[in-house]
Structure 1
């Protein structure tokens, strides 16, 4: 089976890590998988794809009618030349252009993964309407949607996006986290870009209340971005940008992880922290509740409620048996549902089902994996 994955850019980020893990995992299982990406990186850093990548210079994140038309034509030519059985798209721009090009090129199966909605409540009304319309239109060219969280399916269906949906949780290599020792001390950590909607303002609003209640608490921030200087001088350790393979060492320093983004598909940092046995506190947005199960693996807080964040963190820091119990329950949850191989196996089974349903002749299937 010949499969082409398309993503807008390969920065260090959850959607990109999910895509690369899927491609590499399928290749290990004998599938003929290729990856196509635009050339851009960002302050997050570039992600090592661990496989050959076709760079499409016309594919850019920012709207540009001329470049977008050129990117669509370039994708169309690639799809025709390479004769993919499946095109699997990711992210907003590559998702729209990739599905349109695949439809025009006659690709038999077109899959799109929803890592996070293109539309969200904090957008301006015109942009929100435009992205909803684009997704409704692109749904007509989509054989199957894959949602990284049930919340993504619910949001798309509520926005009038029709189609077939299946949830396959974003998987990752959990072993480096599962091996970490139990936490010591009182360290509250957050891993996120310093960017709009990432919630650092709520972190720093909660910080004084936490410090007053548990004076020995330290605060650790991992990530970089254009808002970094906005918080210069605040009483926290700023680690900066680290490579994905360095994240376990940073989580090892934490006793509680907070996730305060106002927009997220399935927060990978929640999965990573729970795999390490660290309880979590998260705003109740998007797919957070599918990982942070309130009262079981951590605490969910109303979005924007910094006082509620402080209260939840203080409770975990003061009640170590509760924190240990939640961490252990979280570790078991993610071990069962969020492993990388489990995700790849589900996607492989999905591909087989879809190609069977459209009856691609066996002589045309290019995968020899049994």
Structure 2
């Protein structure tokens, strides 16, 4: 008899969708996999095509686009999750992201199975300081006392987890190298006359667009690209910044291939898929000294870890004079050895079996 793994994923869109669907497919040979999910506007319309036919799909009726609007609805979600547990009788329940992690840890007692929670980036870290952040952190501490364990995506996220609960572990996020390599082979780089620095993502608090803008102001001789847009894009006002808006994946990768350096100056990450992809593309990487980023990039070894805009600017100006080619090469090797789905699959199978 194969062990039964029940995945619970409310945030079934974006990077979490890619992560969870890949994970379900990777472990389908070794475990009987059930996926309880909620549809969101970001969920691909053909989402079922991304999943192995052996994965048992269970659509949650009280989560998703309708949102969690009341205590009554929360209770309905908890009851629904308990009914699913009763029917499936899983050996392991794996909760993904904060909503599923919150309600799931209230719903599941962990008496007849092991309850695992993966935050995919703790909300109170990603949103910065403020009252809302304090509320989220307090909730994490309370829920951390339940009969569950936290499984994070890297060592520095695990450090945060250890301050919130007793049982923790981490498995590094990875990209599918074969898929990415095949996609990149057919893409011509977008050529630039100037040294080009770029980032990718939503212009929001987490991604610190004002810091990216300060860096650009300090290096006026370089071209800066922000691939994406968002509520704080007006902060990207430096004359040498181009905000491209959201691009189809192939166009975004063409811009990435044609650029020289990738900056991720966020407040924190689990592990950003864009970071791993640009390590694989052999871009010079500069990141903030924060959760997630500092686990992947080691300063002066496979990229640069920076604190202030002046540090980013100094490293970019150095690279414009003499490009440190050994750093991107080391970052590329790290993806081949650590941050890929083959390595992630082996670690997950071992992790679930030990549970």
Q: TM-score range by the shorter chain?
A: 0.7 to 0.9
CA contact (8 A) 1:257 1:279 kept: yes
| Aligned positions of 1:141-290 closer than 5 A | 141-159=146-164, 161-163=165-167, 165-175=168-178, 186-211=195-220, 215=221, 217-228=222-233, 231=236, 235-242=240-247, 247-290=252-295
Q: Which residue number corresponds to residue 40 of structure 2?
A: 40
Q: C-alpha distance in 1, partners of 2:46/2:267?
A: 24
Pick aligned residue for 1:307 from 305, 310, 318: 310
Query: Residue 282 of structure 1 aligns to a residue in which SS?
Result: strand
Deviation at 1:31, TM superposition (A): 2.7
| Aligned positions of 1:1-370 closer than 5 A | 1-13=3-15, 15-27=16-28, 29-41=29-41, 48=47, 50-51=50-51, 53-60=57-64, 64-103=70-109, 106-120=111-125, 122-125=128-131, 127-159=132-164, 161-163=165-167, 165-175=168-178, 186-211=195-220, 215=221, 217-228=222-233, 231=236, 235-242=240-247, 247-302=252-307, 305-320=308-323, 322=324, 324-354=325-355
Q: C-alpha distance in 2, partners of 1:267/1:193?
A: 13
Deviation at 1:33, TM superposition (A): 1.5
Deviation at 1:310, TM superposition (A): 1.6
Query: Residue 63 of structure 2 aligns to a residue in which SS?
Result: coil
Q: Using a 3 Å threshold, how does the CA distance of structure 1 residues 243 and 45 change in structure 2: closer, same or farther?
A: farther
Q: C-alpha distance in 1, partners of 2:260/2:47?
A: 29
CA contact (8 A) 1:59 1:94 kept: no
Deviation at 1:234, TM superposition (A): 5.2
Q: C-alpha distance in 1, partners of 2:74/2:90?
A: 21
Q: Using a 3 Å threshold, how does the CA distance of structure 1 residues 290 and 85 change in structure 2: closer, same or farther?
A: same
Query: Residue 309 of structure 1 aligns to a residue in which SS?
Result: helix
Question: TM-score normalised to the size of structure 2?
Answer: 0.84
Q: Using a 3 Å threshold, how does the CA distance of structure 1 residues 232 and 65 change in structure 2: closer, same or farther?
A: farther
- Structure 2's unaligned 5+ residue stretches are none
Question: TM-score normalised to the size of structure 1?
Answer: 0.81
CA contact (8 A) 1:4 1:34 kept: yes
Deviation at 1:62, TM superposition (A): 5.5
CA contact (8 A) 1:111 1:142 kept: no
Deviation at 1:282, TM superposition (A): 0.8
CA contact (8 A) 2:149 2:166 kept: no
Q: Using a 3 Å threshold, how does the CA distance of structure 1 residues 6 and 250 change in structure 2: closer, same or farther?
A: farther
| Deviation string, structure 1 residues 274-293 (Cα, Å, up to 9, x no partner) | 11111111110002112111
Deviation at 1:203, TM superposition (A): 1.3
CA contact (8 A) 1:6 1:94 kept: yes
Q: Using a 3 Å threshold, how does the CA distance of structure 1 residues 218 and 145 change in structure 2: closer, same or farther?
A: same
Aligned residues: 339
Report 1 or 2 for greater relative contact order, CA contacts < 8 Å, sequence distance ≥ 6: 1
Deviation at 1:233, TM superposition (A): 8.9
